[in-house]
């Protein structure tokens, strides 16, 4: 049974003028046609703008590429899910019976989407300035310990740079299998690189994650052979 939203309001440190916005934000599509998908769409853009503006202001010597990588590391789904867990967001989600039985309140994608929806709800209930403050408060620890640009390069970027430094053609990624239900899909991706005869395969819950795993395996093979 969902907890009373008073606890969630306290965790967010924001008092809604219209709590209907918050109810909509924590309602998954499995529970109602009136769900959080539109608010998630709105919140995604608000989050990106809030983080972009903050990074731009505090990192005045950072180049565009570094700012982009930092922003990506902060707004990605896994990070949002971590923040959602910190405020026990899963305890307040309104889910359909199927999602409840399958543990949807713990699923990273559902948590991340709901948190973005909450940002959208706060924006509609107040304004961008107020919403940005809530976002930066939630991200306080992450923003106080930002990694360097080199530390946050993803595996595909690292592989590309490794190959370019050795004048080797860039890798090609191909989805060779997609399995599972729409909300629990598993992607299998093959990475092909000149000089590696065997197929290198990565698996993940999204095409991007599968590509990243395949890139990591390829990079490890190349480094071991060098």
The number of helices, as runs of H, and strands, as runs of E, in the chain is: 11, 3
Query: What's the alpha-carbon Rg for the chain, to the nearest Å?
Result: 20
Catalytic residue of the set 40, 44, 125, 213: 44
**Whole-angstrom distance, CA of residue 129 vs CA of residue 51:** 12
Give 133-195 as a DSSP string: HHHHHHTHHHHHTPPPTGGG--HHHHHHHHHHHTT-PPPEEEEEEEES-GGG-EEEEEEE-TT
User: Which one of 40, 99, 113, 116 is the catalytic residue?
Assistant: 116
Q: How far apart are CA 193 and CA 116, in angstroms?
A: 37
Find the angle CA(28)-CA(32)-CA(36) to the nearest 5 degrees. Answer: 40
Whether residue 64 lies in the annotated active site: no
37 is catalytic: no
Length of the chain in residues, anyone? 226
Contact 211, 173 (CB under 8 A): yes
CB 55 within 8 A of CB 142: no
> At a CB cut-off of 8 Å and minimum separation 6, what does 220 contact?
none
- Among all residues, which ones are annotated catalytic? 44, 116
């Amino acid at each position: 049974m969902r907890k009373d939203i008073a606890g969630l309001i306290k965790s967010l440190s924001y008092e809604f003028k219209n709590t209907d916005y918050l109810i909509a934000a924590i309602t998954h599509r499995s529970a109602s046609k009136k769900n959080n998908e539109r608010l998630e769409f709105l919140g995604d853009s608000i989050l990106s703008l809030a983080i972009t503006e903050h990074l731009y202001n505090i990192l005045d010597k950072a180049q565009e590429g570094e700012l982009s990588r930092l922003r990506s590391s902060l707004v990605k789904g896994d990070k949002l899910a971590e923040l959602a867990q910190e405020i026990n967001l899963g305890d307040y989600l309104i889910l359909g019976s199927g999602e409840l039985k399958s543990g949807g309140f713990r699923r990273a994608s559902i948590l991340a989407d709901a948190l973005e929806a909450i940002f959208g709800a706060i924006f509609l209930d107040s304004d961008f300035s107020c919403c940005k403050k809530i976002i930066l408060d939630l991200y306080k620890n992450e923003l106080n310990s930002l990694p360097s640009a080199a530390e946050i390069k993803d595996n595909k970027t690292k592989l590309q740079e490794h190959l370019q430094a050795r004048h080797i053609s860039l890798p090609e990624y191909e989805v060779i299998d997609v399995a599972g239900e729409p909300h629990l899909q598993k992607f299998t991706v093959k990475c092909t690189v000149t000089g590696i005869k065997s197929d290198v395969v990565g698996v993940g819950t999204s095409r991007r994650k599968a590509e990243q795993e395949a890139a990591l395996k390829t990079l490890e093979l190349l480094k071991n052979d060098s």
